Amino acid sequence: MDHFHYKDGTLHAEEVALSDIAAEVGTPFYCYSTATLTRHFALFQEALEGLPHLICFAMKSNSNQAVIRTLAALGAGMDVVSIGEYLRAKAAGVPGERIVFSGVGKTREDMRAALLGGIRQFNVESEPELRALSAEASALGLRAPITLRINPDVDARTHEKIATGKKENKFGIPISRARAVYAEAAALPGIEVVGIDVHIGSQLTELEPFEEAYQKVADLTIALRADGHDIRRLDLGGGLGIPYTRSNEAPPLPLDYGALIKRTLGHLGCEIEIEPGRLISGNAGVLVSQVIWVKQGEGRDFLIVDAAMNDLVRPSMYGAHHDIVPLIEPAVGAAPHSFDVVGPVCETGDTFAKDRALTDLAEGDLVAFRSAGAYGAVMASEYNTRPLIPEVLVHGAEFAVIRPRPSYDEMINRDIIPNWL
Ligand SMILES: *Cc1c(COP(=O)(O)O)cnc(C)c1O
């Protein structure tokens, strides 16, 4: 459930008409709903009630300072996958002890920055990383709290580009080698083993792959404890899928996911960490865009909108579906009109939807791409010298621009002409 709905015939985010925001900031823009972010975070809190836990928002899904601050104020920790995200979390006021650092390619420089700035744990993904982290921590007179990210060789049954838990994926340490690597970790002077980490993929629409992975984590916890390791924290990653269409999809609910965690891992007495991104931010955001032209092609009509693949890359990158709805509520029984919805970028890949049944739309009409709060703004680029689009946060009846649209001068003046030109 989210807080985008028609009211008085026009699409609102909470109490604010999206057309009012469009009039003020121009299109295209991203709009996020505070109430929806809050609600989704609360669903996870509820789901894990009774277990000691920390919900670490996966910042890679949406890393705007205002979004992070909204969630941090509710008690969220943060899962970061780069030192840039770490610095963003810190800048938003998240203390180091609520930040976990994931990712396969942390550099020594990243490690030092996080060690000095304070960190809850590093989720270590390889032996070279483990050894380097020990050396860097030792040099600073510290011990780095770590989990090892285990690759459980489980098929997440999701899009191949976002499946991360199979043995052929670059992520984690093969579970078959886990005990040996834990033994090495325990012997390293700069390392303090605190737990186990696993993350098998994103947009999972079934619970079974989680169950399979978490069962393996439970078995490994027991084995590692028998080996003498103090496994007290289990980081279970993110990945719970969301409905991208209003009609037929029903991915598992956080409550059922929580029950699964309790059933598979609750008896171990560990603190549970989860790293949801998409489920918190995805349906908390829309991308509002304006129709530039309606163009008649051969056997099809193109709706050319002012948003493009550089603003929302998921359709061209993953073949992802986003519901598209007009800001003016269509009349009941309005005749459907099918469009190919495309952006202005000079690539055929700049296509949001093919043969999409919408109602009749005309030049100047406004539409919203739903479910765009996760992996939307964060994946945007300036391809075709298109400015990064503004982000707006709604809070009840108020809204604020939380990242402005840059001017063309700002974009152009970042380039430097060398002195021989
Ligand atoms: C991407 C990612 C997440 C978040 O995944 P969602 O599907 O957005 O919940 C969590 N943890 C790690 C390590 C990730 O790479």
Nearest Cα to Cα of residue 308 among 285, 283, 286, 289: 289
In which residue ranges of the chain is CATH 2.40.37.10 found? 4-31+282-412
Q: How far is the CA of 101 from the centre of ligand 1 (A)?
A: 12
Q: Which atom of ligand 1 is nearest to the CA of 164?
A: 15
What's the CA-to-centroid distance between 238 and ligand 1, angstroms?
5
**Is 258 near ligand 1, meaning CB less than 6 Å away?**
no
Structural tokens at position 282: 């995805």
Nearest-CA residue for ligand 1 atom 10 is 238
What pLDDT, on the 0 to 100 scale, is given for residue 363?
A: 98
pLDDT at 163 over 90: no
62 pocket-lining for ligand 1 (C-beta < 6 Å): no
**Pocket perturbation via mutation, ligand 1, pick of 41, 202, 240 by most ligand atoms within 8 A of CB:** 202
Beta carbon of 275 within 6 Å of any ligand 1 atom: yes
Span 78-101, mean pLDDT? Answer: 98
| The pLDDT of residue 1 is above 80 | no
In which residue ranges of the chain is CATH 3.20.20.10 found? Answer: 34-281
CA of 102, closest atom in ligand 1: 13
**Least confident window among 188-197, 249-258, 373-382:** 249-258
58 lines ligand 1 (CB under 6 A): yes
Using a 6 Å cutoff on CB, does residue 287 contact ligand 1?
Answer: no
Q: What is the mean pLDDT of the chain?
A: 97
- Cβ(202) – ligand 1 distance below 6 Å: yes
pLDDT digits (tens, 9 = 90+) for 181-201: 999 999 999 999 999 999 999
- What average pLDDT does this structure show over 151-161? 91
The string of pLDDT tens digits covering residues 292-344 is 999 999 999 999 999 999 999 999 999 999 999 999 999 999 999 999 999 99
- The reply to whether ligand 1 has any atom less than 6 angstroms from the CB of 365 is no
| CATH number 3.20.20.10 is the correct assignment for the domain at 34-281 | yes
- The pLDDT assigned to 80 comes to 98
Q: What is the pLDDT of residue 402?
A: 98
pLDDT tens sequence across 10-49: 999 999 999 999 999 999 999 999 999 999 999 999 999 9
- pLDDT score, position 168: 87
Candidate from 54, 57, 79 with most ligand 1 atoms within 8 A of CB, to mutate: 79
Kindly state if the Cβ of 102 falls inside 6 Å of ligand 1.
yes
Name the pLDDT band for 162 (thresholds 50, 70, 90): confident
Q: Does residue 238's CB lie within 6 angstroms of at least one atom of ligand 1?
A: yes
Active site positions, annotated: 346
Q: How far is the CA of 281 from the centre of ligand 1 (A)?
A: 12
Three-class secondary structure assignment of the chain: CCCEEEECCEEEECCEEHHHHHHHHCCCEEEEEHHHHHHHHHHHHHHCCCCCEEEEEEHHHCCCHHHHHHHHHCCCEEEECCHHHHHHHHHCCCCHHHEEECCCCCCHHHHHHHHHHCCCEEEECCHHHHHHHHHHHHHCCCCEEEEEEEECCCCCCCCHHHECCCCCCCCCEEHHHHHHHHHHHHHCCCEEEEEEECCCECCECCCHHHHHHHHHHHHHHHHHHHCCCCCCEEECCCCECCCCCCCCCCCCCHHHHHHHHHHHHHHHCCEEEECCCHHHHHHHEEEEEEEEEEEECCCCEEEEECCCCCCCCHHHHHCCCCCEEECECCCCCCCEEEEEEECCCCCCCCEEEEEEEEECCCCCCEEEECCCCCCCHHHCCCHHHCCCCCEEEEECCEEEEEECCCCHHHHHCCCCCCCCC
What is the reported pTM?
A: 0.97
Given this model, what pLDDT does residue 165 score? Answer: 87
How does pLDDT run across 211-234, given as a tens digit for each residue? 999 999 999 999 999 999 999 999
CA of 418 relative to ligand 1 center, distance in Å: 41
Give the Å distance between the CA of 44 and the centre of ligand 1. Answer: 15
Predicted pLDDT of residue 167: 86
Are 55 and 76 a contacting pair, CB within 8 Å? yes
| pLDDT at residue 346 greater than cutoff 70 | yes
Q: From ligand 1's centre to the CA of 201, what distance in Å?
A: 7
Share of the chain above pLDDT 90, in %: 95
Q: How far is the CA of 23 from the centre of ligand 1 (A)?
A: 35
In tens, the pLDDT along 255-296 reads 999 999 999 999 999 999 999 999 999 999 999 999 999 999
Q: Which atom of ligand 1 is nearest to the CA of 204?
A: 7
Give the type of residue at 283. Answer: N
Percent of the chain with pLDDT over 70: 100
pLDDT of 248 > 70? The answer is no
Q: Which of the following CATH numbers is that of domain 4-31+282-412: 2.40.37.10, 3.40.630.40, 3.40.50.2300, 3.80.10.10?
A: 2.40.37.10
Ligand 1 site, residue 235, Cβ cutoff 6 A: no
